[in-house]
Amino acid sequence: VITNLPERQMVRLSRSRSVGDSVSNTPLERALVEVVVNGSTRLTLRESQPGTYLLPENFRGRVGDRYQLRFQTEQGTFYESTEEAMVSVPPIARVY
């Protein structure tokens, strides 16, 4: 999740697998992680703790910009998301 809030932006990566009737999540460590902004600007993320990767400290998302997550596991497998645009929050019309 990327937001325009004044807080540290991060990405958490984990592997999920079924174990009997439950699901086990294991942090994905030592990956090479980047966010691509508007198809051209690449931001390299830094792993701060197992499976948690931080964007640069001053980074904030901007409404209208497009973002894509790309990462490569320690074993060399490459993944990338589709590109998504940040939209503005719609006004609240009613509260019940």
Rounded Cα–Cα distance for residues 33 and 31 (Å): 6
State residue 1's pLDDT score: 83
pLDDT band at 19 (very low <50, low <70, confident <90, very high): confident
State residue 32's pLDDT score: 97
Cβ atoms 61, 87 nearer than 8 A: no
The reply to whether the predicted model has a pTM over 0.95 is no
pLDDT band at 8 (very low <50, low <70, confident <90, very high): very high
Answer yes or no: is pLDDT of 86 > 90: yes
Evaluated on CA atoms 58, 61, 64, 68, the torsion sign reads positive
